[in-house]
Copies of this chain bind each other. A is one copy, B any other.
Amino acid sequence: MIQQKEKSFKQTPQRLAILECLKGNKSHPSAEDIFQKVKKKFPTMSFATVYNNLEAMKKRGTIHSLTIDSERMRYDPNTSCHHHIICVDCKKIIDVSVNVKLNIPEEEKCDFDILGNHIEFYGTCPDCNKEGQ
């Protein structure tokens, strides 16, 4: 088997800024959110750089992307097993760490190899409930 040399991962200031912005961030920001925040520090920051870096971090397993918001991709630096609640009105996303063991009966799997799962709870957040009266 041919030894695949791993591509080096350079520590550029922009990349570090994106990582810093994401670190411990529980708001599940979109690429736009991240771009706006990092742009303050690097006014020349390009959108492509944000997307390229998010993609690179995803591939390395540093972050996860969430498909829960149909309007845009959301990113989560917390790669440990957890789930989410999304507000159907304002699209706010919060973490949930209910620990359920989910097993699919063999006959339901249709020979899929299951790698993992993610539970999306949807509802309305307190802020949107207030307004909706």
Contacts and interface: CB of A to CB of B under 8 A. Distances in A.
A51 interface: no
Contacts of A120: 67, 117-120
Interface residues of A, number: 38
A103 B119 CA distance: 12
Q: Please report whether the interface of chain A is mostly helix, strand, loop or mixed according to DSSP.
A: mixed
A117 B112 contact: no
Contacts of A129: 111, 113
Contacts of A65: 70
Interface stretch (A10-18, A33-41, A91-99): A91-99
Interface of A: 65, 67-70, 73, 85, 87-88, 94, 96-98, 100, 102-105, 108-126, 129
